[in-house]
C-alpha cells in the first residue's frame, strides 16, 4: 500500500476527514460537506478525486479520512468507479499535520522522493486546465526540496481566509517566492491593508513536497508526531484498500495543523502564486457566490419563491420556502432545522453550533436522516413509548442479526421486497405486507431485490435509544472483538 504506482507521477493525497460545521445545518459531524452534493451531481470528495483522475499525470490518490467514514467513502468511490491507491482511516482526528505525516510515511515505503500533492476534499477548483499547469510547474520546486503552498491571488479583502506573504522571487518556473509570513484570518481592516500592500495571497490549504523533505522537516520541529504516526502504522491493520493505524499510538500525536506545525517555521516554505479559480466552500456566502443569480442578485436552490428580495440566498432541501422583502440574507432549510442569517454574519454559524451542543441538542451534529452502510433511516414521529421510522435498505444489503432488551418492532413494507429472519425462521415480505418482532427475539433484515427496500418501522417499548441493540452477527464488522457475544437470545 499504495500499489500500482509510477514514481515519475505526482501522488495526490486527499484529506477527507473534516467535520465541516460552517455549512450547518446541511453539513454536520455525521455527514460533513465533503460527502454532500453541493455544487453538482457529485459530492465535493468525488469532484476532488475526479480532478486528479488523469493517470498520465497523477498516480491514484491516497485518501486520509476518519474511521467513522469508512463505508461512505467506499460507496462514493464505487459510484464514480474511482481508482484509489489506499485509504488511511485515522482512529481519531488530530488535525492536518499528523494526517499528512501518515500519508508521507505510507509513500516513503514506495519512494522517499515521492512527490505529494496534498489537497482538501471540500474545496472547489475551477479553470482546471490552469490548475493542472500550476501543479506541473510547482513540481520543479517541490522536487528540489521546497515545501510548496499554493497561494491564491487575492482580489478582495477576504476575512474568511488565511494569507501567505511572498518574499524574494526564486529561480523556479512560475510565480514562485520564498514564503515570508503566514497570517491568520484577519479582521476587515487588516484584510484591506494586506490587499492594498500587495504580495499577500490567500492560503489555499493545498501543498506539494516530497515525502522525504516533509518528514525531515517534521523530524526537526515535531519528532514526536513522526514517531507516533510511524508506530501507529506499524501496529495498525490493513484490509485493502483500508489502513487502520493503531489508536493508542496515534492518539499520542500532537493535535496541530500543518501551518502551525511546519509551514510557518521551516525555512524551506515557498508560495506558488496561482490564478486558477478556487473556493474553500467555507460559508453559505461562498455557495451563493457560485450559484446562478437573478437580476436582483438572488440565488435559490430547491423549492423557493422570492418577492421583492435582493442579494438573498435560499437553499431548500424539501419544503417550500418563501421570502418577502429581504436583503442580503441566507435561509437554509433541512428536515429538522432552519438557518436564517444575515450574509455578513455567516461566519458565526460555528458559534451557533457550539451553542446547540452546549444545550445538548442532537441537531448540532446529527441529521434527521441517519446513514448506515446498508442504507439509512429517518425518524418520522417520537412519542411516549413509541417511535416511527422510515427505513431504506440498498439492493443486496443486509442488517445485523440483533435483538433488543427494551422494545418490540412492527415492520410494514411499502416498496420492494424484504427477507426477514426471526430466530431461525426466514420470511419473505412483499409490498403492503408486515411482520411483528417481539421483544427479545433475534432478527435480521435483508433486501434480496435489485431496487431499494422501503419500510415503516413502529417501535414500542420503555426505552427506544439506538444503543439498545445487541448484535449477534454483522457483515460490516460492527461487533468489537473484545465484546462477548451473548449466549442466549429469544427465538
Sheet holding 386-393, edge to edge: 369-372, 375-383, 386-393, 453-461, 407-415, 434-437
Spell out the per-residue pLDDT of the chain, length 491, in tens.
555 556 568 999 999 988 778 899 999 988 899 999 988 899 999 999 999 999 999 999 999 999 889 989 999 999 999 989 999 999 999 999 999 999 999 999 888 899 999 999 999 998 999 999 999 999 999 999 999 999 999 989 988 899 999 999 999 988 999 999 999 989 899 999 999 998 999 999 999 999 999 999 999 999 999 999 999 999 999 888 899 999 999 999 999 999 999 999 999 999 999 999 999 888 999 999 988 999 999 999 999 999 999 999 999 998 999 999 999 999 999 999 999 999 999 989 999 999 999 999 989 998 888 889 899 999 888 888 999 999 999 999 999 999 999 999 999 999 999 999 998 899 999 999 999 999 999 999 999 999 999 999 999 999 988 889 999 999 888 765 444 444 333 33
- Number of other CB atoms surrounding residue 467 within 10 Å: 6
Distance from C-alpha of 361 to C-alpha of 486, rounded to nearest angstrom: 33
Distances (CA, A) of 25 to 174, 348, 349: 41, 13, 9
| pLDDT score, position 490 | 34
Distance from C-alpha of 442 to C-alpha of 403, rounded to nearest angstrom: 4
User: What value does the CA radius of gyration of the chain take, rounded to a whole number of Å?
Assistant: 25
| pLDDT score, position 480 | 57
| Half-sphere exposure in the Cβ direction for 338 (13 Å, CA) | 10
Distance from C-alpha of 73 to C-alpha of 302, rounded to nearest angstrom: 26
Q: Which three cell numbers stand for residue 296?
A: 436582483
Burial of 97: CB neighbours in 10 Å, binned 0-12, 13-18, 19+: buried
Q: Which three cell numbers stand for residue 428?
A: 419473505
Single out the residue of 246, 248, 259, 258 nearest to residue 101, CA to CA. Answer: 258
| pLDDT score, position 484 | 42
Per domain, the residue ranges of the chain are: 11-279, 290-357, 369-473
> Collapsing DSSP states into helix, strand and coil, what is residue 60?
coil
Distance from C-alpha of 158 to C-alpha of 161, rounded to nearest angstrom: 6
| pLDDT score, position 359 | 96
- H/E run at residue 409: strand 407-415
- Would you tell me the crossing angle of helices 96-108 and 211-221 to the nearest 10 degrees? 130
| Half-sphere exposure in the Cβ direction for 47 (13 Å, CA) | 20
pTM of the model: 0.87
Q: Which three cell numbers stand for residue 409?
A: 418492532
What's the CATH number of domain 11-279, 3.50.30.60, 3.40.50.1820, 3.40.50.720, 3.90.550.10?
3.90.550.10
Distance from C-alpha of 356 to C-alpha of 361, rounded to nearest angstrom: 5
- DSSP label at 284? H
Peptide bond into 490 cis (omega under 30): no
- DSSP label at 396? T
Distance from C-alpha of 141 to C-alpha of 36, rounded to nearest angstrom: 34
- H/E run at residue 378: strand 375-383
Burial of 476: CB neighbours in 10 Å, binned 0-12, 13-18, 19+: middle
Q: Is 369-473 in CATH node 2.60.120.330?
A: no
| pLDDT score, position 471 | 93
- Number of other CB atoms surrounding residue 244 within 10 Å: 19
Distances (CA, A) of 298 to 287, 294, 295, 303, 317: 12, 5, 7, 14, 17
Point out which residues pair with 181 in neighbouring strands: 165
| pLDDT score, position 7 | 57
Single out the residue of 110, 58, 66 nearest to residue 82, CA to CA. Answer: 58
> Collapsing DSSP states into helix, strand and coil, what is residue 68?
helix
**Cα 410 from chain centroid (whole Å):** 35
Residues 33 and 47 sit within 8 Å (Cβ to Cβ):
no
Domains 11-279 and 369-473 agree in fold: no
Amino acid at each position: 500500500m499504495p500499489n500500482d504506482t509510477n514514481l515519475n507521477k505526482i501522488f495526490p493525497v486527499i484529506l477527507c476527514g473534516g467535520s465541516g460545521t460552517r455549512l450547518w445545518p446541511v453539513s454536520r459531524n455525521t455527514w460533513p460537506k465533503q460527502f454532500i452534493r453541493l455544487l453538482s451531481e457529485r459530492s465535493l470528495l468525488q469532484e476532488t478525486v475526479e480532478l486528479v483522475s488523469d493517470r498520465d499525470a497523477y498516480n491514484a490518490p491516497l485518501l486520509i479520512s476518519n474511521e467513522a467514514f469508512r463505508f461512505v467513502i467506499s460507496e462514493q468511490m464505487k459510484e464514480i468507479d474511482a481508482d484509489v491507491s489506499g485509504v488511511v482511516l485515522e482512529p481519531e482526528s488530530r488535525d492536518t499535520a499528523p494526517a499528512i505525516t501518515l500519508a508521507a510515511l505510507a509513500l516513503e515505503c514506495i519512494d522517499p522522493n515521492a512527490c505529494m500533492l496534498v489537497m482538501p476534499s471540500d474545496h472547489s477548483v475551477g479553470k482546471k486546465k490552469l490548475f493542472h499547469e500550476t501543479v506541473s510547474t510547482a513540481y520543479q520546486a517541490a522536487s528540489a526540496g521546497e515545501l510548496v503552498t499554493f497561494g491564491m491571488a487575492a482580489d478582495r479583502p477576504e476575512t474568511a481566509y488565511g494569507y501567505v506573504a511572498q518574499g524574494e522571487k526564486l529561480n523556479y518556473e512560475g510565480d514562485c517566492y520564498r514564503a515570508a509570513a503566514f497570517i491568520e484570518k484577519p479582521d476587515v481592516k487588516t484584510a484591506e491593508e494586506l490587499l492594498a500592500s500587495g504580495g499577500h495571497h490567500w492560503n489555499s490549504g493545498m501543498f506539494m513536497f516530497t515525502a522525504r523533505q516533509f518528514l525531515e522537516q517534521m523530524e526537526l520541529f515535531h519528532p514526536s508526531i513522526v514517531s507516533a504516526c510511524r508506530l501507529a502504522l506499524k501496529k495498525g491493520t490493513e484490509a485493502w484498500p483500508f489502513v487502520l493505524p493503531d489508536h493508542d499510538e496515534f492518539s499520542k500525536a500532537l493535535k496541530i495543523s500543518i501551518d502551525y506545525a511546519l509551514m510557518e517555521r521551516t525555512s524551506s516554505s515557498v508560495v506558488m502564486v496561482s490564478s486558477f479559480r478556487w473556493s474553500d466552500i467555507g460559508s453559505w456566502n461562498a455557495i451563493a457566490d457560485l450559484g446562478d443569480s437573478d437580476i436582483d442578485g438572488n440565488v435559490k436552490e430547491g423549492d423557493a419563491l422570492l418577492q421583492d428580495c435582493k442579494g438573498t440566498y435560499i437553499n431548500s432541501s424539501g419544503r417550500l420556502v418563501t421570502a418577502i422583502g429581504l436583503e442580503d440574507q441566507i435561509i437554509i432549510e433541512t428536515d429538522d432545522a432552519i438557518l436564517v442569517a444575515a450574509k455578513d454574519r455567516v461566519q458565526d454559524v460555528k458559534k451557533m453550533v457550539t451553542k446547540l451542543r452546549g444545550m445538548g441538542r442532537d441537531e448540532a451534529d446529527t441529521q434527521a436522516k441517519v446513514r448506515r452502510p446498508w442504507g439509512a433511516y429517518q425518524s418520522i414521529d417520537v412519542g411516549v413509548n413509541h417511535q416511527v421510522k422510515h427505513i431504506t435498505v440498498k439492493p443486496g444489503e443486509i442488517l445485523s442479526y440483533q435483538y433488543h432488551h427494551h422494545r418490540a418492532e412492527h415492520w410494514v413494507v411499502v416498496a420492494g421486497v424484504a427477507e426477514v429472519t426471526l430466530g431461525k425462521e426466514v420470511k419473505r415480505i412483499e409490498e403492503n405486507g408486515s411482520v411483528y418482532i417481539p421483544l427479545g427475539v433475534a432478527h435480521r433484515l435483508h433486501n434480496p431485490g435489485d431496487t431499494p427496500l422501503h419500510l415503516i418501522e413502529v417501535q414500542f417499548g420503555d426505552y427506544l435509544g439506538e444503543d439498545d441493540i445487541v448484535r449477534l452477527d454483522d457483515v460490516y464488522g460492527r461487533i468489537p472483538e473484545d465484546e462477548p457475544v451473548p449466549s442466549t437470545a429469544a427465538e
